Structure 1
Amino acid sequence: MAEAHQAVAFQFTITPDGIDLQLSHQALRQVYLSGLRSWKKRVTRLKNNVITGVYPASPSSWLFVVIAILATMYTRSDPSMGLIAKIQEHLPSFKNVLKKLPYQTAPCRTVVSAVLFSTLLWFSLIFTMRLCLKQLLSYHGWMFEQHGKVSNTTKIWAMVRIFSGRQPLLYSYQGSLPNLPVPAVKDTVKRYLESARPLMSDSEYERMTTLAKEFESSLGNRLQWYLKLKAMWASNYVSDWWEEYVYLRGRGPLMVNSNYYGMDFLYVTPTPIQAARAGNTLHACLLYRRKLNREEIKPVILNVPLCAAQCERIFNTTRIPGEETDSLIHWQDSEYVAVFHRGRYFRLWLYHAGRMLSPREIEQQIQRIMDDPSPPVPGEAKLAALTAGDRIPWAQARKEFFSSGVNKRSLDCIEKAAFFVALDDDEQGMRGDDPAGNLDRYAKSLLHGKCYDRWFDKSFTVVVYKNGKNGLNAEHSWADGPIMAHVWEYVMTTDSFQLGYTEEGHCKGDVASSLPPPTRLTWDIPAECQERIERSLTVAQALADDVDFHVLPIQEFGKGAIKKCKISPDAYIQIALQLAYYRNRGTFSLTYEASMTRLFREGRTETVRSCTSESCAFIRALEGGESKEVCRRLFRTASEKHQQLYRMAMTGGGIDRHLFCLYLVSKYLGEESPFLKEVLSETWRLSTSQTPLQQVELFDFVNHPEYTTCGGGFGPVADDGYGVSYIIVGENMINLHISCKHSCPQTDSHKFGADIKKALEDLLELLSPEKPDPSKAEQNHSKKSKKDL
């Protein structure tokens, strides 16, 4: 009760002698400090908006321009060519009101006019620089040039560094990024037919060609007109529709079907104490959020900057269910997290007295939650199953049972939290007598847990296990995997390399004695709602039980050996996946590889159709017993084709997003297109994605190879297909995450994993330079000596 009294800033009592006013100075101080922190954030946000708004110039450059103009005028020359005099003529006069102010004197009016001219000149220079920068960022020819051969156009393009300014903030480039271009219909149709050829018989291909030509010559041009109109108006003609129709309008479960996961270090658990690991992990998340709010995170630059718009919704974001479509809600700030432990929900404040809690303080608060003996109320323990099941029942239950009273207040607390935290009673990781099997169970646990111990609607859930292992589960609609991977790289390395632990395994630092304990959230869940929770849990449990998962760390070789063969590592792995699938299923499959379009403003992803005529020709030759020389030549052709497709996808020349948007326009217009309908109904039986390692400088794979990130994965996209996620770690390791469904007799994640490993090894053997035979070398030397004699 003492904490409850301290939470009230003032109390008053009406007595016969008047009003007795009692002030709590401690509570008022907390209110003051919290408000001070909020105002500091506003000031920082305003300052960053100014800096970003004038980028690539700086606010201080305005003073330089003003001084330069005034200095030029002092030499009795007019740099404005009469404009300053014109401005002076039109300055308002206040002779009757401000007679005595120096503003009315001629020299002062001249100075004011010069400052106004300098400001206009400064804005003009900024506009010109940003226009030049945007034009430079629109050039992508450098991606298609061969290594060592640089064209004159690309040399001129290198001027991008001149216009890029110094020390950019996270969002400095946003206003200069180009818009995603709309490809020509004929180009998209041509590329589609090219991608479909190896997967169709002659008769099927001829029929699809006819449908495509009909679409191109008739309805396609009309749909394209509307799409170009949208591209002129919107920042990105794809992203808003992609977010709504691919993610938010999906009525099936988010769990497994949409959400993805990220894993901890593969071989190292920094501390076995669950509360301590949670303390450092949560504190590292707060450090990242503070850098994000201050825009101190460096923009990701791949010769040119990538769009950072997706970073805005990492924290304080929740997906709200609806009967027809969901919505994403983002709050500017949140000072607490929602914590789940043994069926109970808690609110854990992460700030006290206007400051961030230390890792040791968070550890203490987490331990208080774990020591709380109170049981969950009826319906509370499995409440989160509503977020794991179908969306319509959850939307209906939310409206009926959580729209008022104590349930609404507790649900608001979860949805407005910075993120969600799950404290698991299980132990996970690559451990024990069955490390491979335990690693698979660890991945499945992060993907779906018990189906009621993750809040799948939150932007992300941090999971901390009993033995100190951790991980995360992330919702997909607000951003793509690389955004969350960037956060998790920072959190893992900050936890281990910067924050650290004591010899006993606890977090470092001191603890304030006045910290109020975490608040238990209260619920009043009626029996009818409990029945709906159980129905959602049944749906989610069936989905989770059907997932077959396998995590495959390959330590025998990695990027280093592949690059010695002068092959793109991504092309190498993609062709290996094609070879493995062919050996596994005896046929080729339409293949989805995720590529990003963040070279453009608000860009998200595009599809690389990795199964090509070139890769199929190589695989048939290899499996048909062709010579090494023929197979190598065909492999390099397939690799170059894959790289070309990847570059096209990155630079706005992809196929699938354009066709997707054309299909939506046709639906809006009430038009039917047999071609678009058939294309959009194709099944991706092999869905793949690379998790990029973006902050290599945070890791030290040479001196600390045990601190190896394992990456993350996702569930299968098709009921009879595979989902494959992979991460290239350092020079000597590749981690793969393979998923499929037990219910399909043709799929087996472990068998497919073995096929992938064998394919990777076979390709390396094929492409590696042959070592000279010592006996043949000696014979050649002997022949050469005789010839010389």
Structure 2
Amino acid sequence: MAEAHQAVAFQFTITPEGIDLQLSYQALNQIYCSGIRSWKKRVSRMRNRVIKGVYPASPSSWLFVVIAILATMYMHSDPSMGLIAKIQQHLPLSLHVSLSAQGQTMLSALVFSTLLWLSLILALRLCLKLLLSYHRWMFELHGRVSNTTKVWVTLVRLLSSRKPLLYSYQTSLPHLPVPAINDTLSRYLLSVRPLLTDSEYKRMTELARDFENNLGNRLQRYLKLKALWATNYVSDWWEEYIYLRSRGPIMVNSNYYGMDFLYVTPTSVQAARAGNTITALLLYRRKVNREELKPSRVPGTVIPLCAAQYERMFNTTRTPGLETDVLQHWQDGEYVAVYHKGRFFRLWVYNAGRLLTPREIEHQVQRILDDPCPPLPGEERLGALTAGDRLPWHQMRKQYFSSGINKRSLDVIERAAFFVTLDDEEQGMRGEDPAGNLDRYAKSLLHGKCYDRWFDKSFSIVIYKNGKNGLNAVHSWADAPTVAHLWEFTLATDAFQLGYTEDGHCKGEVDRTLPCPQRLLWDIPAEVQTQICKSLTVAQSLAEDVDCHVFPFREFGKGQIKKLRISPDAFIQISLQLAYYRDRGGFCLTYEASMTRLFREGRTETVRSCSNETCAFVKALDGGESAEQCRRLLRLASEGHQNLYRMAMTGAGIDRHLFCLYVVSKYLGVDSPFLKEVLSEPWRLSTSQTPIQQIELFDLKNHPDYISLGGGFGPVADDGYGVSYIIVGEHMINFHVSSKHSCKETDSHRFGAQIHKALQDIMTLMSAEPKSTAASRGTSQPKKQL
């Protein structure tokens, strides 16, 4: 194979005349360029460590401190109050001999200046950390900002005035606080009140009281001890016990998907779309590595969010284990793994330390598409091992993929920057049944054929035959907003920065001497092929049971909702409660994901959207109460929901605290009837909003068709719904609804119709409100801009 020869820098042959040494100058040049690139990356990382290590100060501030100290000493004043003299006395004897008295004084002054500079940096960092621990601004009303918050905003902006790197704020973010146990229990009981009868609520109240008076305080002490020791008292346990210890399939149950533009496909050439998409993703990786991305912030504010999840975005794989999986992260690889028609390839994306142009990557991808070689025995459906149960995959991996050719090929996949599937199907909103095709598009991204994705990779890109694309991401390493940030950049860079020629190909020139993509080789025995079939059967049964429905809601968007002076998210969440009530004839425990990235290594918290206020409004609207009464209850429900969301964001949520108390109880070997019942309650309505974080990348005025479809996930409960939504621009909301065909009480299309009607009914109700009344209530909205 040509690529195998080019991977060797020299070869020699022993002949009667001696040793015949042949050097491959091309290979040596590759080695040289790769080394230069590696050293450049090391220098860049060292530079970034220094810059973010002294943030919010700058490295040049050290020189300012030194000059200031020396200038003061020149004026015969001692700013150190005798410390410079003491430092001079403790200098090594060799320096006393080799340096003059003036030199010793200068060296001592430099040491003192450096120590003073470091002390000032620590003081500034502590001040910033204390400032970022202040969260009362989130609860203040529009137009009623306190003087304390105004001073706080000024100080935060002052300390954040220097341009930060991606990870500059990490050491200044506060730690997630452990809520008081009585506060958590009180809020929990309030959240379940609308779901329980009087007798059930009385029983739960007694369980909670008994837990608080006996076992609860003991568990709380252990949890506070962990909070003092760990960076975040929730995240490591959440990652391990909620994600990595699951022994069932991660396909559908855990992984989620992201979609392409709704109306536009930038090119219909599959290889070209792959070229631009891969290039955009690698440009994003470069920005992450160089820390050139701006730190994420709370929308409309200067408040930074934790960036820890970006660290494992690329070159990361979830590997199966006996009791728990492991997230493995490697240093940057210079290739991606590609799957096409049952074959696996290694596609090099760098040549002599240079990132290939989009046109060159397109050329390489086209070589894969044109390759006529059939799959090796067992290769075509090998990916099914990642789609089935985790324990059989662990056993197969340990026994048959731990050495030899299988290990080498598996390492290529797992160490790749990411995984790419060149799908032989066409997807998107097209043809005579656009609505049905959107549903099939969602199912394809969620599970595909159950063997043509590598579900263990941190994320996998899917490029369809007609140029449509999408992604499938592992949930254990990061939450949807982090992946959404990556996907926004990718779509915008692909469409608006890289672009295509008139005939749909990537721009740029092609070096046709590039080595062909390397075909991965396998030796898959019959035992593994048997397990592949079993895992595929499990995965197909799960995939066929998923009922997906994707629909854009175009009647109105956040623009019209905000005119009502109601939070768009609260408006949608209340609509979901109304839709569920009409669909199932009652209420259920509802999960809405909220982030806790205001704290270091924060991930998510649960907003229990089914509240007393929301249920009161739903019953009033469907019970024939007066419009005025319904509007009053809606505003109360909206304000209550917003308060719940703020509390979750600021560390005063319910569910992560109770989850950690449960974990502590298991470590101690004690049982709690209260915690056991709380943790076993099913979330029959699981919801999440996909935020648009980089709206500046999309010009919706000049390019209104470039609208993101967002993404979705599978149902959490067997008899429930999964609902994801993305608020696009001012006039559209896209919904993704999932459920299971096996449950006769759920139907994604029926629930989608109920959501559509609920949104319209609430808008009709609120649009009829007298303008004078609406204006008088305008001051009740939270402040959004700081």
Q: TM-score interval w.r.t. the shorter chain? A: over 0.9
TM-fit CA distance, 1:109: 1.1
Aligned to 1:194: 190
How many angstroms apart in 2 are the aligned matches of 1:660 and 1:366? 46
TM-fit CA distance, 1:38: 1.1
Name the CA shift for 1:768/1:435 in 2 (closer, same or farther; >3 Å): same
Aligned to 2:245: 249
TM-fit CA distance, 1:162: 1.4
1:228 aligns with 2:227: no
Instruction: Give the conservation status (yes or no) of the 8 Å contact 2:3–2:518.
Output: no
1:52-72 CA distance string (max 9 Å, x none) = 111000111101111111111
Aligned to 2:450: 451
Name the CA shift for 1:771/1:178 in 2 (closer, same or farther; >3 Å): closer
TM-fit CA distance, 1:514: 2.2
What does 1:630-641 correspond to in 2, within 5 Å? 630-641=629-640
What does 1:712-751 correspond to in 2, within 5 Å? 712-751=711-750
Partner-residue secondary structure (3-state), 2:60: helix
Of 125, 129, 138, 1:130 maps to 125
Name the CA shift for 1:71/1:753 in 2 (closer, same or farther; >3 Å): same
36-45 vs 533-542, which deviates more? Answer: 36-45
TM-fit CA distance, 1:354: 0.8
1:337 aligns with 2:336: yes
TM-fit CA distance, 1:2: 4.1
Identity across the alignment (%): 75
Instruction: Give the conservation status (yes or no) of the 8 Å contact 1:317–1:458.
Output: yes
TM-fit CA distance, 1:151: 1.3
Letter in 2 for 1:166: R
How many angstroms apart in 2 are the aligned matches of 1:298 and 1:479? 18
How many angstroms apart in 2 are the aligned matches of 1:190 and 1:455? 44
1:237 aligns with 2:236: no
What does 1:269-348 correspond to in 2, within 5 Å? 269-302=265-298, 303=301, 304-348=303-347
Structure 1, unaligned runs of 5 or more: 774-789
Letter in 2 for 1:386: L
TM-fit CA distance, 1:107: 1.4
TM-fit CA distance, 1:768: 1.6
Aligned to 1:213: 209
1:162-194 CA distance string (max 9 Å, x none) = 122411000000000000000011000000000
Instruction: Give the conservation status (yes or no) of the 8 Å contact 2:139–2:643.
Output: yes
How many angstroms apart in 1 are the aligned matches of 2:7 and 2:509? 23
TM-fit CA distance, 1:769: 4.7
Of 104, 120, 127, 2:115 maps to 120
TM-fit CA distance, 1:120: 0.5
- Structure 1 or 2, whichever has the larger Rg, is 1
How many angstroms apart in 2 are the aligned matches of 1:555 and 1:111? 71
How many angstroms apart in 2 are the aligned matches of 1:673 and 1:9? 64
1:728-768 CA distance string (max 9 Å, x none) = 00100000000000011110101100000100011111112
Q: How many residue pairs were aligned?
A: 768
Aligned to 1:562: 561
TM-fit CA distance, 1:235: 0.2
1:346-376 CA distance string (max 9 Å, x none) = 0001100111010000000000000000000
How many angstroms apart in 1 are the aligned matches of 2:768 and 2:748? 32
1:485 aligns with 2:484: yes
Instruction: Give the conservation status (yes or no) of the 8 Å contact 2:500–2:507.
Output: yes
Instruction: Give the conservation status (yes or no) of the 8 Å contact 1:57–1:165.
Output: no
How many angstroms apart in 1 are the aligned matches of 2:137 and 2:101? 55
Aligned to 2:73: 73
1:675-713 CA distance string (max 9 Å, x none) = 000000000000000000000100111121100000000
1:104-127 CA distance string (max 9 Å, x none) = 111111111111111001001000
Partner-residue secondary structure (3-state), 1:59: coil
Aligned to 1:108: 103
Letter in 2 for 1:84: I
1:460 aligns with 2:459: yes
Instruction: Give the conservation status (yes or no) of the 8 Å contact 1:55–1:165.
Output: no
How many angstroms apart in 1 are the aligned matches of 2:555 and 2:180? 45
Letter in 1 for 2:390: R
Instruction: Give the conservation status (yes or no) of the 8 Å contact 1:589–1:684.
Output: yes
1:495 aligns with 2:494: yes
Aligned to 1:41: 41
1:377-426 CA distance string (max 9 Å, x none) = 11100000000001111111111111111111111110110000000000
Of 264, 271, 274, 1:268 maps to 264
Aligned to 1:155: 150
TM-fit CA distance, 1:85: 1.2
1:683 aligns with 2:678: no
Instruction: Give the conservation status (yes or no) of the 8 Å contact 1:571–1:643.
Output: yes
Aligned to 1:783: none
Letter in 2 for 1:718: A
Aligned to 1:178: 174
TM-fit CA distance, 1:75: 1.2
Of 123, 138, 146, 1:143 maps to 138
1:493-549 CA distance string (max 9 Å, x none) = 000000000001000000113210000000111111111000000000010000001
Instruction: Give the conservation status (yes or no) of the 8 Å contact 2:191–2:612.
Output: yes
1:94 aligns with 2:97: no
Aligned to 2:572: 573
1:416 aligns with 2:415: yes
How many angstroms apart in 2 are the aligned matches of 1:26 and 1:454? 35
- Say what the alpha-carbon RMSD is for the aligned residues: 1.2
Partner-residue secondary structure (3-state), 2:734: strand
How many angstroms apart in 2 are the aligned matches of 1:156 and 1:5? 66
Instruction: Give the conservation status (yes or no) of the 8 Å contact 1:389–1:540.
Output: yes
What does 1:497-536 correspond to in 2, within 5 Å? 497-536=496-535
Aligned to 1:19: 19
What does 1:374-393 correspond to in 2, within 5 Å? 374-393=373-392
Partner-residue secondary structure (3-state), 2:733: strand
1:312-345 CA distance string (max 9 Å, x none) = 0000000000121100000021111100000000
TM-fit CA distance, 1:149: 0.7
1:407 aligns with 2:402: no
Structure 2, unaligned runs of 5 or more: 773-786
Instruction: Give the conservation status (yes or no) of the 8 Å contact 2:592–2:608.
Output: yes
Letter in 2 for 1:59: P
Instruction: Give the conservation status (yes or no) of the 8 Å contact 2:271–2:365.
Output: yes
How many angstroms apart in 1 are the aligned matches of 2:364 and 2:387? 28
Aligned to 1:786: none
How many angstroms apart in 2 are the aligned matches of 1:43 and 1:487? 25
Aligned to 2:781: none
How many angstroms apart in 1 are the aligned matches of 2:701 and 2:199? 55
Instruction: Give the conservation status (yes or no) of the 8 Å contact 2:2–2:515.
Output: no
What does 1:617-636 correspond to in 2, within 5 Å? 617-636=616-635
How many angstroms apart in 2 are the aligned matches of 1:666 and 1:26? 61
Q: 4+ residue runs of structure 1 moved beyond 6 angstroms?
A: none
Aligned to 1:782: none
TM-fit CA distance, 1:83: 1.1
What does 1:541-556 correspond to in 2, within 5 Å? 541-556=540-555
TM-fit CA distance, 1:17: 3.8
Structure 2 length-normalised TM: 0.97
How many angstroms apart in 2 are the aligned matches of 1:226 and 1:403? 40
How many angstroms apart in 2 are the aligned matches of 1:236 and 1:332? 25
TM-fit CA distance, 1:770: 4.7
TM-fit CA distance, 1:771: 7.3
Partner-residue secondary structure (3-state), 1:702: coil
Structure 1 length-normalised TM: 0.96
How many angstroms apart in 2 are the aligned matches of 1:185 and 1:275? 56
